[in-house]
Structure 1
Amino acid sequence: MTDTTPQAGPEPAPTAATRASGSGLRRYRRVLAVLTLAVAAWGLVWAVVTPTFRSPDEQNHVNSVLRIAHGGGWPAPGDAYIAPVVALAVEEAAYPADAPGRWVHRDDQRQLVDVVPVPRPERARVDAANAIGGPASGTEVDQMTQHPPLYYALGAAVLHATGLTEARWDVTMLALRLLDVVLLALVVPLAAESARRVTGSPSAGLVAAAFPLFLPQLGHVMGAVNNDALVVLTCAVVTYLAARVVTGDLRWRVVVALGVAIGLGLLVKVMAAFTLPTVLVAYLLARGARPWARLGRAVAVGLIALAVGGWWWVRNVVTLGAVQPVGRPRDLTLLATVPDAEVPSTIAGRLAQSFFGNLSWLEIHLPGAWVVGGSAALTAAGLVALAVPGARRAAAALLLLPTALAAGVAFNAWDLHAETGVLVAIQGRYVFGGVTALAVVVGIAVWQVVRRSERRLAAAVPVAVGLGLAAAGGGLAWAFRAFYLGPGESVGDAVDRWLAWSPLEAVPLQVLLGLAAVTGVAALGVAVAWAYRSPHRLAAPRPGTGPTKDDR
């Protein structure tokens, strides 16, 4: 069968136009670099603002990293235990004491504002003798071995590289949080380049780059220790490569890269499997080769992914009788049952709420106006991207990822409800693998709203960045008050409490906040400069790239 994949021709000789295009591309990359730093600074502030162990399952994630770092391996599901040092760290962190911003105040529970923090020099240290738990340690089961170990091996490698395998537990934990912040920052250029690829507009890419700042829960989760961070990055890589495919890049190197990216994601969490529909549809909708050739590439992606990481889940089925075995059975007797008629609305409400907010272990609720407004804006962006010709093929393929993830969460919750009558495991962070796709769709929608005018779209960049920075600051201020400000106290009291709990002294925290503020101002400054300087035309895309004439 003849392969009609477009091939790049020889490079043309440099002209005044191409030199101007190169200058514009350099400007775009500089602005994107500053926006990436701004998102990284935002995540870093979340990492130091969130109290230790106040993110879902954080003690288990830290525990599994320490186990690998100290040679404890990866036990079978149900056979891993919390290490003595982690159990002591949880106690020193006063978990579970209620934070002041809890959605309902409980008079009969210990309050975080009433606990005196353990002084930093007196906090427990990790060492070889206390870093691995076992049946005799008297601790709970660590359920994280129900997942593959790639994220935890990466965390262990970071601890070895930084010399923090034996350190104070809160310092070790901060180092692992910073790893997740780095993984978050890497998502930003992937989102921008994906949007630029499908629209041909660098300004659309910069709008997409600002999108993460609008999601407080994203900063909270990616500023904590959580294996979702690596899932988000691998899904971002898949999204970028799928954007290339749907716009005509059918080279075999992209096939291999897609298969490897999905396979690595599957060595983190089964959520990575939800990228497969996006890849399949991207190949089916792409132009540039015959249908069977495109389908063959999609199948090859799946086979490569199976060889790299899908084998783990096949092995689970063969040896354990389940795709994902239960690491620790959950006690559902304390949860209230939900009537059948209320299940759909409850799932939708909880999923939206925990996608935008719901901090800690989901007990600190984001104000409903933010959730409703954000949900409406994303829905509108999706409808515009799908309805207006120009990039509909790309929008349809990429939107499958967050849609499939949300549908998977809903199905799992609904299925368990049919057996037990309760609803659990409805967490918006499970949809964060689709954040890059949503950022691209927002970029497409704004591109369409301004009628694809690069000049008008350039003017929208500082608006998007300014609103994103406002949302980022507002979310952090809300979280700070929820975590540290007790009833009738001043902000100064909350700051003192934060400093007492933090693994860092006052001066490093001040420097960090100052750098974050400078980075935010710089991001807004370069965005304004981008709008006020006439945007250069970038080099025309090679054959098979960019949006089609009408994308119908």
Structure 2
Amino acid sequence: MNDTDAPPAVARWERVAIAVVTATFGLWLVAWALLVPVFQAPDETAHIDASVHLALGDPWVAPGDLRVERAVNAAAVQQATLPSDQWSTVTELLQAYPGPSTTVNQMTQHPPTAYAVGAAVLRAVHYGDLRWDHAFLALRLTDVAFVTALPLVAWAAVRRVTRSPRAALIGALAVFASPELASIGSSVSNDAPVLLLAGVTVLLATRMLTGDLRWRTAIGLAVALGALVWVKGTGLPAVPFVAVVVLASGAGVLGWGVRALRTVVVLAVAGGIGAWWWLHNVLAYGRVQPDGYAALRPPKDFPPGEHPTVAHFLDVSWGTITRTFWGSFGKGAQVSIGDLLTAVVTIVVLAVVVGWAYRHGPQLRTAVCLSVFPLLLVLIQNETSIHAYLTKAEVAATQGRYYFPAVVCLIVLSAIAWRRLVPAGRPRTVVATALAVLLPALGVYGFAVAASWFWNAAGFPVTGRGVLRYTEVGPVPPVVLAVVVLLAGAGLVVSVVLVTRSGRSRLVSVR
């Protein structure tokens, strides 16, 4: 077996299984969208406000110059002080609180792409006539639509690389393992389209690395990459990643000159689609990614007697990144699923991937190439954090969600590693069954923690007090959320059963 072997044909039962997993994930995201109060996801106020500005016809101004609308701030005040049946429509807020506030909205440091989509959605639902939380819920559900396909993308990528239907389905279930991903993917942000476009970019990259050398695949990869960098700067590390992938694909089949030409064409097409914003930044501001908060966070010295230390930087960085990758909720990441749990899960994942994904074998080239994307994200994020620490005396920009664009790479690498670690036969079936249960269980636990934190004063499990609170300020009646949660839970049970039973009955020969 080698990287150019085509995976086995997709059987009908497998199509049913991945359809159930994907539909369940969509319901799961809807449940998260209904669970987390509006404005309580990271930077959600700024993301919502950016879409409102464009819906009102305001220009996309220079980084640091945009101000949050007073109407958006007023909505947050109503949320904290009034029951939902007394909340205003968007038009009423705009009339009662016209104009911008003094609060800086940093989002114009990003391209306006995601916010233009949000503005179009707001106009389509006639947002001015809607109660503000319902108008902003429409933005959340738009992001849900972007992210829903992520299990399907992960399944296709893992299946292409490993040729194993069972591994591919477990890869799809792995998307549930990060409650943080579900929370971010169901909130208003520019991360949602990034998750989809980055996932598609990685999927097409795996196809090329495993022998799909057709020009239409290369051009599809270029289009996906161009669209990705058109949305957010976290997609920029995918540019060198794609260059490495295209240059490496077909080695031994295509000559160096042909592969170099294909790389130039792919990058040129991607650049033609998505480079305009970044070139504009370089010409207008002298840098690729201006800081929307630069004026508010000037350089400052450490307090007397204090100085930067590697130990402090690593302690803060490790703790924050692991928590906010797996599950730390609220606009200030106030609550997490547990420091010990997130540390243990991170260490297990890293140990398995580092220990077994890069061993000599037919998938080594694919594994090395897929590592480029997450490694670049790590390097860039840490360079930013170190710079902030040395110049502003604080460890900043340490968010685990910054690694979500490479989540499909991480899932594929994990699949390669686990299949090398666990012997074929019964041991692999046992481990596959355990993973199929534990991965979504981690996501369910995160949902329960978030529910208790937001609606039940951190008490667990949620009581009648929490239900009453949701009745007062939730976006929908509690029964609606309960039905969505029950449907998602049923889908998860069916998904796990399909994966585990298929593994025992049909997949023993696919090793």
State whether TM-score is above 0.5.
yes
Cα drift, residue 486 of structure 1: 2.8
Please say if residues 20 and 491 of structure 2, whose CA atoms lie closer than 8 Å, have aligned partners that are also in contact: yes
1:516 equivalent in alignment to 2:468? no
Q: Tell me: CA distance 1:151–1:311, structure 2 relative to 1, closer, same or farther (3 Å).
A: same
Deviates more, 1:384-393 or 1:430-439: 384-393
Cα drift, residue 382 of structure 1: 1.5
- Tell me which of 191, 205, 209 is aligned to 2:172: 209
Secondary structure at the aligned position of 1:140 is classed as strand
Q: For 1:29 and 1:171, how far apart are their aligned partners in 2? A: 35
Residue 295 of structure 1 corresponds to 260
Please say if residues 53 and 93 of structure 1, whose CA atoms lie closer than 8 Å, have aligned partners that are also in contact: no
Residue 339 of structure 1 corresponds to 308
Please say if residues 243 and 267 of structure 2, whose CA atoms lie closer than 8 Å, have aligned partners that are also in contact: no
Q: Tell me: CA distance 1:7–1:422, structure 2 relative to 1, closer, same or farther (3 Å).
A: closer
Q: TM-score, with normalisation over the residues of structure 1?
A: 0.83
Deviates more, 1:478-487 or 1:266-275: 478-487
Residue 41 of structure 1 corresponds to 27
Q: Tell me: CA distance 1:487–1:427, structure 2 relative to 1, closer, same or farther (3 Å).
A: closer
Please say if residues 149 and 268 of structure 1, whose CA atoms lie closer than 8 Å, have aligned partners that are also in contact: yes
Cα drift, residue 484 of structure 1: 2.7
Residue 238 of structure 1 corresponds to 201
Cα drift, residue 170 of structure 1: 0.6
Residue 498 of structure 2 corresponds to 526
Cα deviation, 1:60-97, whole Å, max 9, x if unaligned, reads 11111122223224223233222232111111223xxx
Please say if residues 166 and 499 of structure 2, whose CA atoms lie closer than 8 Å, have aligned partners that are also in contact: no
Secondary structure at the aligned position of 1:322 is classed as coil
Secondary structure at the aligned position of 1:72 is classed as coil
Residue 276 of structure 2 corresponds to 311
Secondary structure at the aligned position of 1:387 is classed as coil
Residue 374 of structure 2 corresponds to 402
1:80 equivalent in alignment to 2:66? yes
Cα drift, residue 235 of structure 1: 0.9
Secondary structure at the aligned position of 1:43 is classed as helix
2:323 alignment partner AA:
Q
Q: For 1:248 and 1:64, how far apart are their aligned partners in 2? A: 42
Q: For 1:161 and 1:420, how far apart are their aligned partners in 2? A: 43
**Identity rate of aligned residues, in percent?**
30
- Kindly report the root-mean-square deviation, in angstroms, between the aligned alpha carbons of the 2 structures: 2.9
1:72 alignment partner AA:
D
Please say if residues 246 and 394 of structure 1, whose CA atoms lie closer than 8 Å, have aligned partners that are also in contact: yes
Cα drift, residue 456 of structure 1: 6.5
1:221 equivalent in alignment to 2:187? no
Please say if residues 66 and 131 of structure 1, whose CA atoms lie closer than 8 Å, have aligned partners that are also in contact: no
- Tell me which of 137, 143, 160 is aligned to 1:174: 137
Q: Tell me: CA distance 1:262–1:132, structure 2 relative to 1, closer, same or farther (3 Å).
A: farther
Q: TM-score, with normalisation over the residues of structure 2?
A: 0.89
1:349 alignment partner AA:
G
Matches within 5 A, 1:56-455: 56-94=42-80, 118-127=82-91, 130=94, 137-164=100-127, 166-287=129-250, 288-328=253-293, 329-331=295-297, 339-341=308-310, 342-360=312-330, 361-383=332-354, 384-387=356-359, 389-451=361-423
Please say if residues 87 and 139 of structure 1, whose CA atoms lie closer than 8 Å, have aligned partners that are also in contact: no
Q: Tell me: CA distance 1:334–1:500, structure 2 relative to 1, closer, same or farther (3 Å).
A: farther
Q: Tell me: CA distance 1:289–1:133, structure 2 relative to 1, closer, same or farther (3 Å).
A: farther
Please say if residues 70 and 132 of structure 1, whose CA atoms lie closer than 8 Å, have aligned partners that are also in contact: no
Cα drift, residue 432 of structure 1: 0.6
Cα drift, residue 458 of structure 1: 6.0
Q: Tell me: CA distance 1:180–1:488, structure 2 relative to 1, closer, same or farther (3 Å).
A: closer
Q: For 1:118 and 1:34, how far apart are their aligned partners in 2? A: 40
Secondary structure at the aligned position of 1:138 is classed as strand
Q: Tell me: CA distance 1:388–1:349, structure 2 relative to 1, closer, same or farther (3 Å).
A: farther
Cα deviation, 1:293-314, whole Å, max 9, x if unaligned, reads 2222222222222111112111
Please say if residues 85 and 125 of structure 1, whose CA atoms lie closer than 8 Å, have aligned partners that are also in contact: no
Please say if residues 180 and 327 of structure 2, whose CA atoms lie closer than 8 Å, have aligned partners that are also in contact: yes
Q: Aligned residue pairs: how many? A: 498
Runs of at least 5 residues in structure 2 that lack an aligned partner in the other structure = none
Q: Tell me: CA distance 1:475–1:70, structure 2 relative to 1, closer, same or farther (3 Å).
A: same
Deviates more, 1:289-298 or 1:527-536: 527-536
Secondary structure at the aligned position of 1:148 is classed as coil
Secondary structure at the aligned position of 1:446 is classed as helix
Runs of at least 5 residues in structure 1 that lack an aligned partner in the other structure = 1-5, 9-17, 95-116, 539-546, 548-552
Cα drift, residue 120 of structure 1: 2.2
- Tell me which of 9, 30, 38 is aligned to 2:16: 30
Cα deviation, 1:513-538, whole Å, max 9, x if unaligned, reads 22222222221232233124324989
Cα drift, residue 163 of structure 1: 4.0
Secondary structure at the aligned position of 1:210 is classed as helix
2:491 alignment partner AA:
T
Q: For 2:481 and 2:208, how far apart are their aligned partners in 1? A: 44
1:471 equivalent in alignment to 2:442? yes
Q: Tell me: CA distance 1:145–1:128, structure 2 relative to 1, closer, same or farther (3 Å).
A: farther
Q: For 1:534 and 1:119, how far apart are their aligned partners in 2? A: 54
2:338 alignment partner AA:
P
Cα deviation, 1:399-451, whole Å, max 9, x if unaligned, reads 22122112211111101222222221211111110111111112222222344
Q: Tell me: CA distance 1:252–1:414, structure 2 relative to 1, closer, same or farther (3 Å).
A: same
1:498 equivalent in alignment to 2:464? no
Q: Tell me: CA distance 1:494–1:204, structure 2 relative to 1, closer, same or farther (3 Å).
A: same
Q: For 2:138 and 2:66, how far apart are their aligned partners in 1? A: 23
Secondary structure at the aligned position of 1:53 is classed as coil
Please say if residues 197 and 243 of structure 1, whose CA atoms lie closer than 8 Å, have aligned partners that are also in contact: yes
Cα drift, residue 464 of structure 1: 2.5
1:312 alignment partner AA:
W
Secondary structure at the aligned position of 1:424 is classed as coil
Please say if residues 203 and 458 of structure 1, whose CA atoms lie closer than 8 Å, have aligned partners that are also in contact: no
Please say if residues 64 and 106 of structure 2, whose CA atoms lie closer than 8 Å, have aligned partners that are also in contact: yes
Q: For 1:402 and 1:484, how far apart are their aligned partners in 2? A: 35
2:83 alignment partner AA:
P
Q: Tell me: CA distance 1:321–1:133, structure 2 relative to 1, closer, same or farther (3 Å).
A: farther
